[in-house]
Amino acid sequence: MRGERAAHTVGAAIALLIAAFLFLACVSFAQREIHSLPDAPSEHSESVKSQLWLLGIGGFVSGTAIRIAEPMLPKLAEEFAVTGAGAASVITAFALSYGLFQLVHGPIGDRFGKLRTIAIALCLAGFATIACATATSLESLAFYRFLAGMTAGAVIPLSFAFIGDNIPFESRQAVLGQFISGILIGGVLGPLLGGVFSDLLGWRYTFWLPGIAFIFIGALLGYKARHERVAKDSERAGVLAVYATLLRMRSVRTICMFVAIESFLFQGGFAYLGVFMRETYAFSFTVIGLCIAGMGLGGLGYSSSVKWLMNRLGQARMVLIGGVILALMYACIAAGPLGVLMAPLIIVGGYAFNMLHNTLQTFATEMAPGSRGAAVALFAFALFFGQALGVSGAGVTIETFGYAPTFIFAGVGLAILGWRFSAWITRSQVRAG
């Protein structure tokens, strides 16, 4: 018993050192990449770059919060005496509110300033995340996660819209690919913290670190945003009118449909990998967290190679290949590989997912340049609405049919999605000229 406890302590210490290294890497990488961005079409380009640096750190914290609950699902299921599907309500609640309130954040960002909206949302997300540590029941934890998702949901989509406002389309996918490095490192750190803290200290302590970070970054960004331009009354349109206009645009409907299906299929299956590894291989929560963190590592690999991929493959072939690789990943997991292969499979899946998803993000920033905040918010709503449905649906199919059919369905669906999206890109490029 003493030897096992010592092993857990050593493992946790190593994992925390990795977490600290990843955070410092995020800061260093953000500084280097933001200063290498193409000049913004504005006389305030240096100010824009410093704002992008802060947004990158905010995206890092938000990325941490998004994935932090996944490795703790087995722990929550044990503590609150529910099934894995029941414990997944904390993921569903976060994803549902994260997506639903995009429809509010987008127009607010367009009207009152994207940076100002993000700063306020970061601070509120911090308080809601800290409140998660005080939850006394699964229901109260899900409620606080709902509040955290409601506020944190403004950060990443409005950051993308801000990039769309300041970076030309021909450079945008590479810039977005670099920008999401902070989000992806957060995606690595989130499961790592969730797994290590659940093993060593208890799941409640997991929420304190991102909560405090949210508030700190929000305060800094709020200071930067104090001179942000606000839309004039004559430039403001009603929220319903904005979304009615967007939904009449075929390109908006198509991109939002693609991302909803992508999220339904991929996130639905991915949310249960932690429970799957616990039940199949009896992994510790720390090991589960390390494996799930491979998703972010794969994304970082994509972020560092996105320019090369764009030059060698182009967008159409890139999303097609990404969909096929995701199908192979889920097929291998469904076949029941050795436990040691789980981390490599997830890393490869993280790379492939970003080949598909980052291309969707790039097209989303150009769907409606005149209402970019609302357009990207609608895209994010579709993404997280698809995730919420996917997690709930996958829970039902896993309890009814098991893991293998659920994973195979997700993989086949993603391959078909990559094929259809690739064909749509090709047609769009032909029409453009």
pLDDT, tens digit (0-9, with 9 covering 90-100), for 184-230: 777 677 777 777 777 777 788 888 888 888 999 899 888 877 776 66
Q: Is the confidence at residue 165, as pLDDT, over 80?
A: no
User: CA nearest 32: which of 178, 243, 227, 173?
Assistant: 178
DSSP state of 40: P
Query: Which residue segment(s) compose the domain that 175 sits in?
Result: 2-432
Q: Report percent pLDDT > 70 for the chain.
A: 85
Position 237 confidence tier, pLDDT thresholds 50, 70, 90: low
> Contact at 8 Å (CB) between 378 and 106?
yes
> Contact at 8 Å (CB) between 176 and 364?
no
What are the b/e assignments for 322-352, b being 16+ CB within 10 Å? bbbbbbebbbbbbeeeeeeebbebbbbbbbb
pLDDT, tens digit (0-9, with 9 covering 90-100), for 317-371: 999 999 999 999 999 998 876 778 888 999 999 999 999 998 998 888 888 777 7
Domain with residue 355: its CATH number is 1.20.1250.20
Summary mean pLDDT of the chain:
80
State the pLDDT at residue 46: 57
pLDDT, tens digit (0-9, with 9 covering 90-100), for 409-422: 999 999 999 999 99
31-35, 92-96, 258-262, 269-273: least confidently modelled range: 31-35
pLDDT, tens digit (0-9, with 9 covering 90-100), for 61-85: 887 887 788 778 888 888 888 887 7
- For the chain, the 3-state helix, strand and coil shares in percent, each to the nearest 5, are 85, 0, 15
Distances, alpha carbon 230 to alpha carbons 154, 163, 181, 235, 432, in Å = 17, 17, 29, 10, 33
Q: Is the confidence at residue 47, as pLDDT, over 60?
A: yes
State the pLDDT at residue 417: 95
Q: How many structural domains is the chain composed of?
A: 1
State the pLDDT at residue 26: 47
**Cα–Cα distance measured from residue 379 to residue 399, given in angstroms and rounded to the nearest whole number:** 30
Phi-psi region of 349 (alpha: psi -120 to 50; beta: other; left: phi over 0): alpha
State the pLDDT at residue 121: 92
